[in-house]
Amino acid sequence: MTEKTIDAQFSFKYSARDKNRPDTFSLDIDVSLPMSGVTAIYGHSGSGKTTLLRCIAGLQSFNKKACSEGFIARLQVGGEVWQDQENLLAPHKRSIGYVFQEAGLFPHLTAEQNIQYGIRRISDKPSAEFYSHILSLMGIQALMSRLPDQLSGGERQRVAIARALLIKPKLLLMDEPLASLDSARKEEILPFLESLKEESKVPILYVSHSMEEVSRLADNLVMLEDGKVVAEGRLNEVLSRIDVPLPASEAGMVVEAAVVEKSSRWHLLRAEFSGGEFWLRDSGERLGQSIRLRILARDVSLAKESHDDSSILNRLPVKVLEVGQDTDPAMCLVRLGAGQTRLLSRITRCSAEHLQIKTGQRLWAQIKSVAIVR
């Protein structure tokens, strides 16, 4: 990260393995994260995402005596030490809300009774106003009398999130909360998570292996691989790096823009950002609304001149900042600057040679409107 904070520290060092268990998984993590917004913990299965979350929650700890060499384990949240070499705060004493892949609702209790069960264990009960606000935020007011088997998967998760928020945690942990849902249910719950991000002041650690979810929700990103941090920082800083190990189908950028014009004739809108503007499909956004756009590297083509005789509406003047290798030997990645915004383009090495692409070169980036993802 370019700017680290001192009010929240998630620092883990665990490089030793149990002598008698060579298969023991190890973490080697040292990060400092802000006590605000959404930090995504991203990586493939087995990278250590859930292990990290369980350590933060106090559900998993490291046995110093079992290690073949020393390690450091330290966790500090909002100025309070939850774990260090001498101390380990019990899970029930950590101010944490935890949302798992499955909602974990008691089947014999209604949605309201499940929520009340969670509230019972805290001394600082939520006010009626706060209680009503959280139910409204999650859109579950009409679901409170239903049993879990009368709810959809997305509705059950919204109840589980409300239950976690109503204990007023210092930190909300979400472990792949959409992993068990189908595409329709994911689309149902994502707007509620976006509202949660905007309205809640609780910092969120969001574990996911879906870059689509990360791109829509995250402010900060920590990428794990084999128990180690391979990249961390503000979302766009990390995604604009050409050395970040993302699969070809996931590599790309997130752009923050504002709606400045709408065309009723073409059902399009124009959104401005620091590097220019995009025309894209109008999905009902209002003028002045901030929107987050995802642009995959494979959907950014490059040209030496701006071509008006093309179906591509979006053409941006850019500067080549860096050219790097891709995991596919036929491809390369080009990092581009459009004003203060960074973009990535994934093109063939043949095309790069044809255009004689090099650092500092001025080009035009071309992006089809239909390729821009909300």
pLDDT in tens, 6-53: 344 444 444 434 445 555 556 777 788 888 889 999 988 888 888 888
Beta-carbon contacts of residue 86 (< 8 Å; ≥ 6 apart): none
Distance CA 364, CA 374 (A): 23
The pLDDT value recorded for residue 22 is: 52
State how far the Cα of 97 lies from the Cα of 95, in Å rounded to an integer. Answer: 7
What is the arithmetic mean of pLDDT over 358-372?
Answer: 96
CA distance 178 to 189: 8
Task: Write b or e for each residue in 196-222: b if 16 or more Cβ atoms lie within 10 A of its Cβ, otherwise e.
Answer: bbeebebbbbbbbbebebbbbbbbbbb
In DSSP terms, which residues pair with 331 in a beta bridge? 348
Q: Is 192 helix (H, G, I), strand (E, B) or coil?
A: helix
DSSP 194-234: HHHHHH--S-EEEEES-HHHHHHH-SEEEEEETTEEEEEEE
Residue that is written with structure tokens 């059950």 in the block: 156
Domain boundaries of the chain, sorted by first residue: 8-239, 252-368
For residues 1 and 31, what is the distance between their CA atoms, to the nearest angstrom?
A: 9
Taking alpha carbons only, the member of 191, 185, 201, 130 closest to residue 162 is: 130
* Burial annotation 126-141 (CB, 10 A radius, 16+ → b, else e): beeeebebbbebbbbe
Instruction: Provide the H-helix boundaries in the chain.
Output: 49-57, 111-119, 128-138, 153-165, 183-199, 211-217, 235-239, 349-355
Highest mean pLDDT among 66-80, 118-132, 244-258: 118-132
Tell me the CA distances in angstroms from 235 to 39, 238, 239, 322, one per residue in order. Answer: 9, 5, 6, 19
Give per-residue pLDDT as tens, 326-335: 888 999 999 9
For the chain, what is the mean pLDDT? 86
- Residues making up the chain, counted from first to last: 374
- The angle that helices 128-138 and 153-165 make with each other, rounded to 10 degrees, is 150
329 CB neighbour count, 10 Å cutoff? 8
Q: Is the CA virtual torsion 196, 198, 201, 202 positive or negative?
A: positive
Q: Hey, how many other C-beta atoms are within 10 angstroms of the C-beta on 325?
A: 12
**Of 10, 15, 26, 40, residue with least CA distance to 231:** 40
Q: Is the dihedral of CA 19, 21, 22, 27 positive or negative?
A: negative
The reported pLDDT for the residue numbered 61 is 65
Whole-angstrom distance, CA of residue 322 vs CA of residue 361: 10
Percent of the chain scored above 90 by pLDDT? 55
CATH of domain 8-239: 3.40.50.300
Instruction: List C-alpha distances in Å: 328 to 244, 250, 331.
Output: 14, 14, 5
Spatial contact of 373 and 278, defined as CB atoms under 8 Å apart: no
The Cβ-side half-sphere exposure at 249, using a 13 Å CA radius, reads 3
Fold of 252-368: OB fold (Dihydrolipoamide Acetyltransferase, E2P) (2.40.50)
> pLDDT by residue (tens digit) across 143-153?
999 999 999 99
Given a cut of 90, is residue 106 above it in pLDDT?
A: yes
Query: Are 277 and 290 spatial neighbours (Cβ–Cβ below 8 Å)?
Result: no
> What is the C-alpha to C-alpha distance for residues 313 and 321, in angstroms, rounded to an integer?
24
More confident residue, 18 or 359: 359
Average pLDDT of the residues in 119-125: 87
User: Is pLDDT above 70 for 72?
Assistant: no
Distance CA 217, CA 229 (A): 20
pLDDT at 23 (0 to 100): 55
